[in-house]
Structure 1
Amino acid sequence: MSDFDTTLTNLGIPRYNTSSTTSGTTLDTKDTSRLGKTDMGVSDFLALMTAQLKNQDPFQPVDNSQMVAQMAQFSSLSGITEMSSTLKTIASQLSGGSLNDAIGYVGKNVLVQGSTAYPRTTGGLAGAVALEKDATNVTVTIKDKDGNTLKTIEMGKETKGAVAWDWDGKTDDGKDAGEGPFNVSVTATDGTGNVKAYPLVWAPVTAVSMGSDGKPVLTLPGIGNVSTDAIWQVG
């Protein structure tokens, strides 16, 4: 019998073998209820260390530095395991809380980057232009689903950032533009050429789900799925 087996026997701990039985103890390998915990806790470590001290050769005792090293190693491993478990719990709670918070967006309108927009129930359409830098001339073009230009909005000189615009739902010749959906595009220039710009449109949140990265994803008609980080404003 090995020293390890002797230590286990002195402690009254049976050693199980998945293919056979030892020490006269029979264990059904399919019944895991008797196995209890499979990791070593602090009490287990102390019990084994005590047994090691009791059974050591008095003429060749365990070196103090070796024992201190074993204790330090166990303490470090125990701390890492506990920290890992704590972080997993925190991450789970945060992801759950984020999804619960995102559910509050359902039924609300959000301003996000997109080119497809639906009119308000009261008529007309609102949106914004996101400018990377100041522009001397900003233009918003609204088209129908067939690509026909319905309205051109000349905004003129605008500064860097998000600049709001509003359309009453009438075409350039004064007719009712209909129920949409509409396609929105923007252009911007300054004295040196084109300025990077993109359209921001209002859209209702119809559903919320959890993305593969663990962050909430909002479903918007005509636009698709966007993360909550992409929201510019909530209406």
Structure 2
Amino acid sequence: MGIAVGVNESLDYSAIKTATSTTENSSADLQNNFLTLLVTQLKNQDPTNPMDNSQLTTQLAQINTLSGIEKLNTTLGSISGQINSGQSLQASALIGHGVMVNGSQILVGSGDTTPFGVSLDQASTATQATITDASGKIVKTIELGGLSAGVHTFAWDGTTTDGTTAADGKYQVSLSASNASGPLVSQPLNYALVTGVTNDASGAVLDLGTLGKTTLANVRQII
């Protein structure tokens, strides 16, 4: 690249930024271009009208900042890769284990039922679980009492309101909670079995079979 700076001309720093940003990709390239222009300027400057030192200092500081940001990005990228690897190892240990995730499903089969749970942001003085069948009919209402803030897991014994055993199949649970201030937000949780682990750009992904996929961040409790 040819550079010509005449006597009494001063470096156009904004032009340097524009030119290098469109043709170069790293702070090293920017430094090389800047130093080339600087040497040319020093060779041709008018002794009676020397370069503005404050402008030079500012530009050098900006270049050093860019270099530091590039190094920081490289370091963060390396740390992110290590975190993803660690997540994958942690997630692989969950294969074959049950987890509680957001959802309202309860499965009943051969007298066994999958757990259900609730997540509360605030402590409740009264909490109730209502279990319905596929048609929406209420088959059981369970009083859970007062609960502290956080995640709680429960087991339904599979009996209906009239004392009979619920038929095998899929049921839904809804939660309601309240305290002295009034109704509370209650997030229902359902059980899922981790059958496998894969990776994508965001890290480890848990395969929950028919319930789909989720990340470690969405696991509320490990059973």
**What TM-score, normalized to structure 2?**
0.63
Letter in 1 for 2:123: K
Task: Please point out which of 138, 141, 145 is paired with 1:152.
Answer: 141
Shift of 1:126: 2.6
Change beyond 3 A, Cα 1:189–1:221: farther
SS in 2 for 1:110: strand
**Alpha-carbon separation, structure 1, partners of 2:52 and 2:180:** 79
**Alpha-carbon separation, structure 2, partners of 1:197 and 1:42:** 55
**Alpha-carbon separation, structure 1, partners of 2:43 and 2:68:** 29
| Partner in structure 1 of residue 163 of structure 2 | 174
Change beyond 3 A, Cα 1:186–1:93: same
| Partner in structure 2 of residue 102 of structure 1 | 91
**Residue pairs, 1:59-208, within 5 angstroms:** 65=53, 72=61, 74-119=63-108, 123-131=112-120, 132-136=122-126, 138-155=127-144, 157-161=145-149, 162-190=151-179, 193-208=182-197
**Alpha-carbon separation, structure 1, partners of 2:57 and 2:185:** 64
SS in 2 for 1:118: strand
Encode CA deviations 1:184-205: one digit per residue, 9 max, x unaligned.
1122345665343232222212
Q: Is the 8 A contact 1:117 1:222 kept in 2?
A: no
| Partner in structure 2 of residue 28 of structure 1 | none
Letter in 1 for 2:216: T
| Partner in structure 2 of residue 228 of structure 1 | 216
CA RMSD of aligned residues (A): 4.1
**What TM-score, normalized to structure 1?**
0.60
**Alpha-carbon separation, structure 2, partners of 1:166 and 1:224:** 23
Encode CA deviations 1:77-133: one digit per residue, 9 max, x unaligned.
333322222222222332343234323323211122211122478713432333433
Question: Where in structure 1 are there 5+ consecutive unaligned residues?
Answer: 5-36
Letter in 2 for 1:159: L
**Alpha-carbon separation, structure 1, partners of 2:181 and 2:73:** 54
**Alpha-carbon separation, structure 1, partners of 2:177 and 2:56:** 73
SS in 1 for 2:173: strand
Q: Is the 8 A contact 1:135 1:195 kept in 2?
A: no
State the identity %. Answer: 27
**Alpha-carbon separation, structure 2, partners of 1:198 and 1:73:** 49
| Partner in structure 2 of residue 218 of structure 1 | 206
| Partner in structure 1 of residue 19 of structure 2 | none
Letter in 2 for 1:227: T
SS in 2 for 1:99: helix
Q: Is the 8 A contact 2:104 2:190 kept in 1?
A: yes
Greater radius of gyration (CA): 1
Which of the two has greater helix per residue? 2
Letter in 1 for 2:134: K
Q: Is the 8 A contact 2:27 2:63 kept in 1?
A: no
Q: Is the 8 A contact 2:205 2:214 kept in 1?
A: yes
Change beyond 3 A, Cα 1:177–1:52: same
